[in-house]
Structure formats: C-alpha cells, structure tokens
Amino acid sequence: MPGSHPNPSRPAGRVLVTGASGTIGRRLVPALVAAGHQVRAMTRSDAAAQTAAAAGAEPLCGDVTDPASLSAAVRGCQVVIHAAGRMGASPSVKPFLPVNVTGTRNMLAAAADAHVRRFIYLGAAMSLLGSPRPITGADETWPLQQPRCSGYAASKTRADHAVQVANGPQMATVVIRPGWVWGTADDPSAASIVQAVRAGQMRLIDGGRRRIVATHIDNLIHAVGLAIDHGVGGRGYYIFDDGSTTIRDFLTGLLQAHGLTLPEASIPGPAAAGLARALDIGWRITRRPGDPPITRMIVELNRHPFLISDARARRELRYQPVITRQQGIQRLRATMQPANPGV
C-alpha cells in the first residue's frame, strides 16, 4: 500500500528527530522505526515523550532554543533530522527567529560537536516567495528570498542558508523543501480553511485558478528517508506530488474529505491584497492574538502561480512519489469519516 513503508533506506545507526511531536514528526518517527532505524525523539513534554515511546523511539528531553539541553540528545547519533520549527502567517520575522533560525544554528553546532555524519533539515518551498519573477519552472538554481509578506518564509530561508553553509567533510548537510504539506487530519492550514468554510467566511482569491504544487505527508517522509543515504551535501531538494493542480481543485478535494463543499464566492486579487494589508495593520495596532482571516502570505500564495520542479530530487535522491494526490484525498476522507458520519 502506498505510504505504508515510506522509508526504504538502510538502517543508519541512531537517528535523532527534532520536532517529534509536530504534525510531521508524529508521522516521521514511526516511519523511521518501521524502516529499522534506531530513533531518538527529542521532546519537550511528558505527553510527547509517551507518544514517541509508544511508536518505538527513545524519547529524550531537549529544546532547540536551549543549547545546553542538546548535547545529550545528539550524543551517539549518526544522523539528525531537524523538523522542529514555528509556523505562522505573521509578516514579521521576529517571532520566528528564536526557534527557526537560532534553534537551527544551535542544532548544527551540537551535531558538529557530536560528530554527526549527516544533518537533514526540513526547509520550505515557500522560501521562494517574493521572487522578482513569476514562480513558474523554478528549481534549486533560483535564489531563496526573505519575503516581507511572510516572516515564517524569511526565517526558513535564513535557516536554510545556515544549514547549507555548515556542510563539510565531517558532516554533510541536506535540505528537504516541501510545498504545502497535506494529508493529515491535524493539518493546521486545512483546519483554518475548514473553520472559515463553516463560519461562512471562506473566499477564493481570483477564483482559485492559479496552479500550485503541494506535498503529501507520505511523499515528504519518503524523501526524508531517502536523504539519509542519498543526496549531495550542501544542497537543497524540492519535494512534491506528481503534477500540479489549481488552488480551486486542491481545496475542493480537501474540503470534500471533511464533508464540506468549496464555496463559490471569490474576491479579486488586488482587493484581497488591500484587505490583508489593512487587517495586518489593525491586528498590530490592537495587538490581537493569532493571525487575521486573510494575511499577506495567503494572498501572495493565491494570487500567483507556484510551480517548482523537483527533478533534482528525482535524480540525486532517487525520489519518486509513493502516493498520488487522488489516493491522498481518498485516504484523508477515510480518516475523517468517523468525525463526519454523513460523508
């Protein structure tokens, strides 16, 4: 079955996973265990440690923002998979720096001191946002950006650069850059869309006609497993599902899995951009928690095509998707059925 054994790489000794309790980490840890790796999961809570232990991993307390807590976590590990990170739609980079940038540098230093042979970082294809040219036919030769519309993407770019620079003869570093990671019932991006639809607040931007690439969770985990043994040190690799899709078609499938129908309502791109700017200012002035319903990052992702090639990963990582978009939607629908008995 696609996705049931997403990591075919040979056992690599002890592998440390940061962010083990996150949306990606919770799937990555058991997949690595199933593939025969000795997995150490870095956790920050008793509940997360219990989940990691139940998956067959060795839980160990650590925090990427606390360098003193990292030496024990990386000791004896041959590979580090750095999946910890903070997400969000704020245009300010400041909230993301401690975890995404400083935390990554802390992990790199700890890994180098522990003589880790390979450091795999989960970057983000969103680091191309803000490109001066339309993102069509993009690949790893395109320079990463620090867009003003997304502090998250800007922080991922800074961390991405730090990981590449840290590559050397003693420790090879590889960056895996997925698109929108989807296919889980707890996908935070999908959850916000579901909430907006149920509240009657969902609006497509420009009819959702732009084409994008995305990354099913199984395909991402498969690529991370491949990167343990394959890939050139100091390089980044984009990872996507086969083919592109329109935003409208993609959201239609996601919402159907939740027993919902995509609304037809749409707002022109320029109007959405103006509204996002106004809401951003209002949120900052009033210091409201969370993100506005429409953000500059969301507008940027919806107003323009987002088409990137993952040909390098297919050549150098030997990556091929293990699940199709249609299979992913079907599996998500089956997962959501208990919560949506009318589906």
The whole-number pLDDT of residue 134 equals 95
Where in the sequence is the domain holding 63, given as residue range(s)?
14-184+213-241+307-322
Look at the alpha carbons of 153, 157, 162, 166 in this order and tell me if their dihedral is positive or negative. Answer: positive
Residue 221 · residue 17 · CB < 8 Å? no
Residue 197 · residue 136 · CB < 8 Å? no
Average pLDDT of 15-32?
A: 96
| Rounded CA separation 124/24 (Å) | 13
Domain-located, residue 170: yes
Residue 343 has pLDDT above 50, yes or no: no
Number of domains in the chain: 1
Closest to 81 measured CA to CA, from 49, 51, 114, 104: 104
pTM, two decimal places: 0.93
Average pLDDT of 193-217?
A: 94
Categorize the per-residue pLDDT at 339 as very low, low, confident or very high, splitting at 50, 70 and 90: low
Domain-located, residue 224: yes
Average pLDDT of 266-278?
A: 93
Residue 209 has pLDDT above 70, yes or no: yes
The whole-number pLDDT of residue 137 equals 96
Domain-located, residue 23: yes
Domain-located, residue 258: no
End-to-end Cα separation, the chain, in angstroms: 23
Q: Which of 100-104, 109-113, 301-305 has the lowest mean pLDDT?
A: 301-305
| Rounded CA separation 32/259 (Å) | 32
Domain-located, residue 24: yes
- What is the pLDDT of the chain when averaged over all its residues? 93
The whole-number pLDDT of residue 110 equals 98
Closest to 64 measured CA to CA, from 120, 108, 107, 115: 107
Which one-letter amino acid corresponds to residue 219?
N
Closest to 31 measured CA to CA, from 239, 222, 174, 240: 222
Q: Name, in order, each residue with C-beta under 8 angstroms of 103's C-beta and a sequence gap of 6 or more.
A: 64, 65, 84, 85
Domain-located, residue 167: yes
Residue 11 has pLDDT above 80, yes or no: no
Average pLDDT of 305-310?
A: 98
Closest to 125 measured CA to CA, from 180, 186, 184, 202: 180
Domain-located, residue 190: no
Which one-letter amino acid corresponds to residue 203?
R
Average pLDDT of 297-311?
A: 95
The whole-number pLDDT of residue 315 equals 98
Residue 108 has pLDDT above 50, yes or no: yes
The whole-number pLDDT of residue 3 equals 43
Domain-located, residue 74: yes
Selected catalytic residue, list 152, 237, 238, 319: 152
152 as an active site residue: the answer is: yes
| Rounded CA separation 343/332 (Å) | 12
| Rounded CA separation 166/158 (Å) | 13
Please report, rounded to a whole number, the percentage of residues in the chain having pLDDT higher than 70.
94
Q: What tokens appear for 15 in the block?
A: 């592998």
Q: Name, in order, each residue with C-beta under 8 angstroms of 290's C-beta and a sequence gap of 6 or more.
A: none
3-class secondary structure per residue, the chain: CCCCCCCCCCCCCEEEEECCCCCCHHHHHHHHHHCCCEEEEEECCHHHHHHHHHCCCEEEECCCCCHHHCHHHHCCCCEEEECCCCCCCCCCCHHHHHHHHHHHHHHHHHHHHCCCCEEEEECCHHHHCCCCCCEEEECCCCCCCCCCCCHHHHHHHHHHHHHHHCCCCCCEEEEEEECEEECCCCCHHHHHHHHHHHCCCCCEEHHHCCEECEEEHHHHHHHHHHHCCCCCCCEEEEECCCCCEEHHHHHHHHHHHCCCCCCCCEECHHHHHHHHHHHHHHHHHHCCCCCCCCCHHHHHHHHCCEEECCHHHHHHHCCCCCCCHHHHHHHHHHHHCCCCCCC
Categorize the per-residue pLDDT at 9 as very low, low, confident or very high, splitting at 50, 70 and 90: low
Categorize the per-residue pLDDT at 241 as very low, low, confident or very high, splitting at 50, 70 and 90: very high
Average pLDDT of 115-122?
A: 98
Residue 19 · residue 41 · CB < 8 Å? no
Q: What is the largest CA-CA distance in the chain?
A: 57
CATH code where residue 228 lies = 3.40.50.720
The residues pairing with 44 across neighbouring beta strands, listed in sequence order, are none
Categorize the per-residue pLDDT at 305 as very low, low, confident or very high, splitting at 50, 70 and 90: very high
The whole-number pLDDT of residue 234 equals 98
